[in-house]
């Protein structure tokens, strides 16, 4: 028996999408025991990766509680949404913003199957560390730290002799 | 990956699911379901069993809630109900004081005392003799206070008393409420509130995926912003209201200074005064011993390093004060806000002060900022990914009363990432004024700006940009 999988297909061959453009596509359940499917969630979302704790925001969400015959689940499910103007996909030094379509299938007894398809919103070139940038203290008023730890501030490049924020 | 016409079927990637029954799909393959009882948790990322984690949280909050309930019941039974009955249910009668004594109980914290007065009274023809005072029968650490209470009663004299009609051998000589004792209710009530809120949250999130919890319908509708632009118009882009509410004198908007130099000075002043205030007590003590002819060298040796540190704080504070006074305010104005990639703007800089500058430079920078929790600590890391000098002037004198003023162009690079703000991550653009002062440490002042995604911009920005020109050359 094949392993269960979720295939996600984006119209437009997975190219970079512009803000305000319609993202549409299909998902298909393969080798999933359809009689066990309780619900399907389709989300279009962005999440962060990198040094910081993960942030996640859902732009489009649809939950389908399955009370249809299993045969209908064999047909691809469609989704469509108009993409927002922000945040754009971004690959930075310590932060990445990734957009994706995520399909989560809930089976009986608490089992889940998750499929994810990344796509790009907007065209922002990858960021690179600044060469030769002066290392300056954190901007006044910028969040530093809470708890007992002190903030760790890094910056690319050399450090000048002495800089005081006044 | 299967290509169907213009469609590309996904190669699904592993995601941080962590459900004990979740099949993670990697490159189209499904990994075997994992069941891990315990794993490290960094910030909000849980890599162990999600269901087990939720269950653990629910049990934790349930225990808190039950402890609070139990504490509340105990307090009600031992304090509230007896006091209420003594004040509202007990029946008044007359009693005769037969004896009185200072009741004593030895505890780990020392002896405790309470008034014990033996009274005799009659209820429906039956005589009762009991030792009592009030319903709480609490002990006190002060024998004098208890003795003062005893002195109010004279053996052999009659006094009013109140007895319990359900149990006549329970009686009191005084009634009233001990309001201060009710503060102890804060403990069980805080347990109940914390546990109850945690249980409600656990019930709300039980069985829900991260996407469902974060779905737009699961949250309150966003409110209109102060600048009239609905917040959802540019999700996760900081609200520009705070930096567009101050009109400039030369250009459209005056940028706010990040942080407050005055506040920093006040903080350093308080620190210096507090430190030296404490040290001065020990210093005065040590000096007094020396003057009295019995020098305490241990105290003296202990005090000297702290006194030197206090002296350093005073020097540092005055150095900051002189810098702030001599450098004077820095004003930065911009022709339009928020900024757009690929557009040109004009910036006005005004610097006052009374000092000689080796150089004054304005940098246009972009920084990524990531906040993460490590155990109980929260740390923030900043990384600069863009830096462009937009103005520089070298070797000149700032004259008191004559501000140095200059206008220069600012071009936001086409393709620049827009400002971004989420709970733990940010992308911040700012103009930083860096001054290299002759004979003094350099200073820097930061002025945040907001860059919007490419799109429709303000017509004023376009027109002013067209007229500004000279982008890329640094005026001197």
* B270 and B354 belong to one structural domain: no
* B275 and B318 belong to one structural domain: yes
* B362 and B457 belong to one structural domain: yes
Strand residues in B291-343 grouped as ranges (E):
330-334
Cβ contacts (< 8 Å) between B237 and chain A: which residues? 86-87
Does the complex come out with an ipTM higher than 0.90?
no
Chain A nearest-CA distance from B134, in A, is 47
Cα dihedral: B52, B57, B61, B62 (round 10): -10
Judge whether B190 is closer than 8 Å to chain A, CB to CB.
Answer: no
Query: Within a domain: residue A126?
Result: no
Query: Within a domain: residue B298?
Result: yes
pLDDT tens, residue order, chain B (476 aa) = 333 334 445 444 434 343 333 333 333 333 334 444 444 444 444 455 667 777 888 999 999 999 999 999 998 888 888 988 999 999 999 999 999 999 999 988 889 999 999 999 999 999 999 999 998 888 888 899 999 999 999 999 999 999 999 999 999 999 988 777 778 888 999 999 999 999 998 888 887 888 888 887 665 444 444 444 445 588 999 987 777 778 888 999 999 888 777 788 888 899 999 999 999 999 999 998 898 888 889 889 999 999 999 999 999 888 888 777 778 889 999 999 899 999 999 999 999 888 889 999 999 999 999 999 988 899 999 999 999 999 999 999 988 888 999 999 999 999 899 999 999 999 999 999 999 988 777 888 999 999 999 875 443 333 333 333 222 333 33
Judge whether B456 is closer than 8 Å to chain A, CB to CB.
Answer: no
Q: Report strand pairing: A112-121 vs B22-26.
A: parallel
- CATH number of the domain where residue A100 is located: 2.60.40.640
* A136 and A117 belong to one structural domain: no
- Chain-centre distance for alpha carbon A86: 13
* A90 and A162 belong to one structural domain: no
Number of domains in chain A: 2
* A97 and A59 belong to one structural domain: yes
Domain-ending residue, one of B279, B303, B327: B327
* A55 and A105 belong to one structural domain: yes
CA-nearest of A77, A78, A79, A73 to A31 is A73
pLDDT, tens digit (0-9, with 9 covering 90-100), for A66-107: 776 666 777 889 999 999 999 999 999 999 999 999 999 988
Domain of residue B109, residue span: 91-174
- CATH number of the domain where residue B148 is located: 2.40.50
* B303 and B335 belong to one structural domain: no
Which two three-digit tokens encode residue B472?
């890329």
Identify from B50, B55, B352, B367 which residue to disrupt to test chain A contact, counting A C-beta atoms within 10 A and taking the largest count.
B367
* A33 and A114 belong to one structural domain: yes
Judge whether B217 is closer than 8 Å to chain A, CB to CB.
Answer: yes
Q: Report strand pairing: A56-65 vs A39-50.
A: antiparallel
* A40 and A64 belong to one structural domain: yes
CA-nearest of A29, A8, A36, A4 to A119 is A8
* B427 and B315 belong to one structural domain: no
* A164 and A108 belong to one structural domain: no
Contacts of B169 (CB under 8 A, 6+ apart): B128, B130, B163
Domain-ending residue, one of B116, B146, B174: B174
DSSP per position, B120-181: EEEETTEEEEEEESSSS---BS-HHHHHHHHHT--TT-EEEEEEETTEEEEEES-----GGG
* A15 and A69 belong to one structural domain: yes
DSSP SS3 for B458: coil
B211, B425, B443 ranked by CB distance to A43: nearest? B211
* B279 and B338 belong to one structural domain: no
* A74 and A24 belong to one structural domain: yes
Query: Within a domain: residue B308?
Result: yes
pLDDT, tens digit (0-9, with 9 covering 90-100), for B406-462: 999 999 999 899 999 999 999 999 999 999 988 777 888 999 999 999 875 443 333
Domain-ending residue, one of B327, B342, B358: B327
Number of domains in chain B: 4
Domain of residue A26, residue span: 5-121
């Amino acid at each position: 028996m094949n392993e269960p999988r979720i295939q996600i297909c984006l119209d437009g061959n997975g190219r970079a999408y512009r803000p305000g453009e319609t993202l549409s596509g299909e998902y298909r359940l393969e080798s999933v025991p359809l009689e066990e499917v309780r619900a399907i969630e389709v989300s279009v979302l962005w999440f962060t990766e990198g040094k910081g704790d993960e942030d996640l925001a859902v732009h489009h969400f649809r939950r389908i509680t399955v009370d249809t015959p299993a045969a209908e689940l064999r047909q691809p499910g469609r989704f469509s949404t108009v993409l927002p103007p922000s945040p754009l996909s971004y690959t930075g030094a310590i932060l990445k913003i990734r957009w994706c379509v995520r399909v989560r299938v809930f089976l009986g007894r608490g089992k889940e199957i998750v499929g994810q398809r990344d796509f790009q919103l907007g065209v922002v070139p990858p960021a690179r560390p600044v060469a030769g940038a002066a290392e300056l203290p954190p901007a006044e008023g910028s969040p530093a730290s809470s708890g007992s730890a002190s903030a760790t501030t890094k910056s690319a490049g050399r450090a000048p002799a002495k800089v005081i924020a006044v | 990956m299967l290509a169907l016409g213009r469609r590309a079927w996904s190669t699904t990637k592993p995601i941080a699911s962590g459900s004990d029954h979740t099949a993670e799909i990697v490159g189209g393959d499904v990994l075997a379901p994992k069941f891990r009882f315990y794993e490290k948790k960094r910030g909000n990322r849980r890599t162990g069993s999600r269901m087990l984690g939720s269950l653990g949280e629910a049990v934790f909050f349930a225990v808190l809630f039950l402890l609070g309930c139990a504490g509340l019941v105990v307090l009600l039974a031992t304090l509230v109900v007896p006091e209420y009955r003594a004040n509202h249910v007990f029946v008044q009668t007359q009693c005769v004081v037969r004896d009185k004594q200072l009741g004593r109980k030895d505890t780990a914290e020392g002896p405790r005392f309470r008034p014990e007065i033996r009274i005799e009274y009659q209820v429906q023809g039956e005589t009762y003799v009991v030792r009592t005072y009030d319903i709480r029968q609490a002990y006190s650490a002060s024998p004098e206070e208890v003795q003062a209470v005893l002195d109010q009663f004279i053996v052999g004299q009659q006094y009013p008393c109140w007895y319990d009609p359900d149990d006549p051998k329970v009686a009191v000589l005084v009634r009233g409420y001990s309001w201060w004792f009710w503060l102890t209710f804060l403990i069980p009530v805080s347990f109940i509130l914390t546990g109850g809120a945690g249980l409600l949250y656990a019930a709300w999130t039980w069985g829900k995926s991260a996407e469902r919890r974060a779905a737009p319908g699961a949250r309150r509708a966003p409110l209109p912003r102060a600048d009239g632009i609905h917040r959802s118009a540019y999700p996760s882009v900081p609200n520009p209201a705070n930096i567009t509410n101050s009109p400039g004198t030369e250009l459209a908007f005056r940028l706010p200074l990040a942080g407050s130099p005055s506040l920093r000075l006040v903080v350093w002043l308080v620190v210096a005064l507090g430190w030296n205030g404490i040290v001065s007590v020990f210093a005065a003590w040590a000096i007094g011993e020396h003057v009295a002819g019995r020098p305490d060298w241990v105290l003296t040796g202990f005090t000297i390093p702290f006194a030197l540190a206090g002296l350093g704080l005073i020097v540092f504070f005055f150095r900051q004060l002189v810098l702030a006074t001599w450098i004077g305010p820095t004003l930065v104005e911009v022709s339009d806000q928020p900024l757009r990639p690929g557009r040109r703007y004009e910036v006005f800089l005004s610097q006052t002060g009374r000092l000689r500058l080796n150089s004054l430079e304005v940098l246009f920078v972009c920084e990524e900022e990531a906040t993460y929790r490590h155990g109980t600590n929260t740390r923030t890391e900043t990384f600069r990914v863009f830096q462009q000098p937009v103005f520089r002037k070298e070797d000149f004198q700032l004259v008191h009363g004559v501000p140095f003023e200059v206008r220069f162009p600012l071009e936001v690079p086409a393709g620049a990432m827009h400002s971004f703000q989420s709970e733990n991550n940010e992308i911040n653009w700012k103009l930083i004024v860096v001054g290299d002062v002759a004979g003094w440490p350099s200073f820097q002042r930061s002025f945040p700006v907001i860059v919007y995604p490419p799109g429709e911009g303000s017509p004023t920005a376009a027109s002013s940009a067209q007229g500004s020109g000279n982008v890329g050359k640094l005026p001197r």
